[in-house]
Structure 1
Amino acid sequence: MTAAMERTQSDGATPDSARPDNVVSMRDQGPSEVSERLLASAARLSRNAMTEIEWSEPMDPTKYGCSPEWSSLYGTAYWNELTEEQRISVTRHEFASIMNIGIWFEMILQEMVIRDQYLGAYHDPEFQFALTEVADECRHSIMFAKASQKMVGTSYKPTKRVGRLGKLFKRTAKNEVAYAGILVAEEVLDVFQRGCMRDDRVLPFIRTVNEIHVLEESRHMKFAREEVRESMEGVGWARRQFSALYVALGAYFIVTSLVQKKAFADAGLDADRAVAEMNSNSHFQSMIRSSCAHLMEFLDDVGLLTKPAMRFYRKAHML
């Protein structure tokens, strides 16, 4: 998160005045020290989408669900054929899909964090912030669910195969695998939302959803990074190789699940053609890579960017 939080405003990052106090200046102090400061930040700066967003306000039919440049079809021949109304519709369904996949992974995240802290040191700020993060994720999931309901009125889930793999991951991922997996999902969505939250072309309530999530996830990413660093101290070669590959596999299935085929069908597009063009869209692949740049730097720094892992990151266009 440190690298992510230090992005300049020209990169679409949150200005310092809108970031959690002390998060920008924190450096690697260990989970307990960092958690204590994050707890104070959460107490001051947490926001409530249920009261902050006017959910009953009608949607402007001219506003997108995300910045057009972040659409998985932007720059393709299919995108060029779409009417403005169709482009608006597909971005709304795409972002609803991304939010719903976010809910899916946030539910995995909550289970992993609670399991990790089971019978933990209850007096320790690390334990207390972990539960604060779980509470945040519950609120975020409700916020995403309401936003999806309002924008498109339907839900999107990963395929049955990926859903089963998610169950396996949440049952078996521990220590650096669990927290690096959490970081992967949060970092990718963070960059995407930063790119859309100040775009006047995007629905106002979606911009607020993005803003709230970016603000609060910055704390979660800092926490996850510290947990990964602590877990990787003194780790041997075999465990490092296994953990790096397991995290990469999880990342591959998360990132490739973000935009579901059903979203294109619900937007009235030829879903087969849309998926084919998305999968070959060099612009979208470039956007994914750019959103993962800081993540890859961190994984490399802690020893989790091995050659076998890199193959899966490249397959998902994350590297």
Structure 2
Amino acid sequence: MTSVEGTRERTDAPSSDRETVARRLLDSSETLSYDPAREVDWETPLDTDYHGTSPEWSTLYGTAYWAEMTAEQQRELTRQEAASVASTGIWFEMILQQMVLRDFYAKDPTDPAFQWALTEIADECRHSIMFARGAAKLRAPAYRPRRAVVELGRAFKTVAGGEAAYAAILVAEEVLDVMQRDWMRDERVVPFVRTVNNIHVVEESRHMKFAREETRERMRGVGRVRRQGIALVVSIAAYFIVTSMVSREVYANAGLDTRRAVREARANEHHKSMLRSSCAGLMEFLDSAGLLTAAATRVYKRANLI
């Protein structure tokens, strides 16, 4: 892992390309940003005739258990799963905000990248509130990762910086992006959730662009040993993020047998295939950045991302 301080000398004087990207992102943010408090229909009561996600993205879709469930149970499950993904998103966005803020601490505020970093943090604050309100409207409890994962996240946000921080940010955002692009277009998904997904997709596209640029910039000149360590740390972070997206508690809250549901979800080849296809572009980028090492690849396979 790389300390933020270790990258300061290289990033305090941004390249012209980096400045151009940051300025373009700032301009885009001024032109196309949303206020979820106004854009999302928070007042209309939840219509339980809709799903919370595209059914094909449910962890049980394609299993024997899914075939036995009533249409009402299937919809309730996808609504609980959507709320769990939102809650996991809040957890990681809080990690992201702290890493970005720490990265730009005491740096040049006239740098467009500095100003973009604050813009991104402001976006993430709005997104977290939007996700929290969305989960509540879906009639879901506060889903959280397991305690061990929460503590690992606490450690990661404290020590990770530079390449590891931005690559991990990219992994989390890219996986969620593909899911939400499907959900926001799916008329089977409850309308307010589609709006939430649309807002997140539009604004996160800028965040992913910045994370890619920062990762590329900071990986230049990184030695082999350090590269191997960074790649492994990022893959481990990705594993815990992806495996925490859907809490096992969603099954009980949807009225299902938790043990059977967890067992069938873990063996669900359809869902594994959906995850792998969603990460194809991400893995190409990590490979091009030298972050898809043999050790990291084994971790991504365990997370069903390859």
Q: Does 1:112 align with 2:99?
A: yes
**CA distance, structure 2, for counterparts of residue 229 and residue 153 of structure 1:** 39
Q: For residues 217-248 of structure 1, what are the alpha-carbon distances to aligned partners after superposition, in whole Å with 9 as ceiling and x for unaligned?
A: 00000000000001000000011000000000
Q: What is the correspondence of 1:257-268 to structure 2 with a 5 Å cutoff?
A: 257-268=244-255
1:264 partner amino acid: Y
1:172 corresponds to 2:159? yes
Q: Quote how far apart the aligned CAs of 1:303 are.
A: 0.2
Match of 1:252 in 2: 239
CA apart distance, 1:33: 1.2
Amino acid at match of 1:46: S
Q: How far apart are the structure 2 equivalents of 1:158 and 1:55?
A: 26
Structure 2 counterpart of 1:226: 213
Assess if the C-alpha contact under 8 Å between 1:240 and 1:304 holds in 2.
yes
CA contact (8 A) 1:30 1:230 kept: no
Equivalence for 1:62: 49
CA distance in 2, matches of 1:254, 1:111: 16
| 2:26 partner amino acid | L
For the residues of structure 2 that align with 1:97 and 1:149, how far apart are their CA atoms? 11
CA contact (8 A) 1:30 1:226 kept: no
Q: Is 1:196 paired with 2:183?
A: yes
Mean Cα deviation higher: 133-142 or 265-274: 265-274
Query: Which of 105, 112, 121 lines up with 2:108 in the alignment?
Result: 121
**Offset at residue 153 of structure 1 (A):** 3.7
For residues 140-179 of structure 1, what are the structure 2 equivalents within 5 Å?
140-179=127-166
1:50-78 residue CA offsets vs partner (Å, 9 max, x unmatched): 11112110122210000100101000000
Number of the residue aligned with 2:169:
182
Contact 2:83–2:140 (8 Å) recurs in 1:
no
Give the TM-score of the pair, scaled to structure 1: 0.90
Q: Look up the SS of the partner of 1:118 in the other structure.
A: coil
- CA drift of 1:30 comes to 3.0
**Inter-partner Cα distance in structure 2 for 1:29 and 1:305:** 28
Q: 2:285 aligns with which of 298, 303, 306?
A: 298
Q: Higher mean Cα deviation, 271-280 or 294-303?
A: 271-280
Name 2:197's counterpart in structure 1. 210
Rounded to whole Å, the distance in 1 between the matches of 2:17 and 2:282 is: 19
1:112 counterpart letter in structure 2: M
Q: Paired residue for 2:257?
A: 270
What one-letter code is carried by the residue in structure 1 that aligns with 2:214? E
Residue 100 (1) aligns with residue 87 (2) = yes
The alignment covers a number of residue pairs equal to: 292
Unaligned runs of 5+ in 1: 1-27
Runs of 4+ in 1 over 4 A off after TM superposition: none
Matched position secondary structure for 1:121: coil
Q: Under a length normalisation based on structure 2, what TM-score does the superposition of the two structures give?
A: 0.94
Could you tell me which amino acid in structure 1 is paired with residue 94 of structure 2? M
Amino acid at match of 1:231: R
Amino acid at match of 1:81: E
1:12 aligns with: none
Residue by residue over 1:108-150, the C-alpha shift from the partner in whole angstroms, topping out at 9 and shown as x without a partner, is 0000000000011110000000000000000000000000000
**Aligned-residue CA RMSD (Å):** 1.0
C-alpha separation in 2, matches of 1:59 and 1:262: 21
The residue type paired with residue 251 of structure 2 is: F
Does residue 80 (structure 1) correspond to residue 55 (structure 2)? The answer is: no
What amino acid is aligned across from residue 118 of structure 2 in structure 1? L
More off after superposition, 267-276 vs 309-318: 267-276
Aligned to 1:16: none
1:239 aligns with 2:234: no
Deviations 1:242-279 (A, max 9, x none): 00000000000000111001111111111111111111
1:32 aligns with 19
Query: In the TM superposition, what is the alpha-carbon distance from 1:29 to its structure 2 partner?
Result: 6.8
Instruction: Name the SS of the counterpart of 1:141 in structure 2.
Output: helix
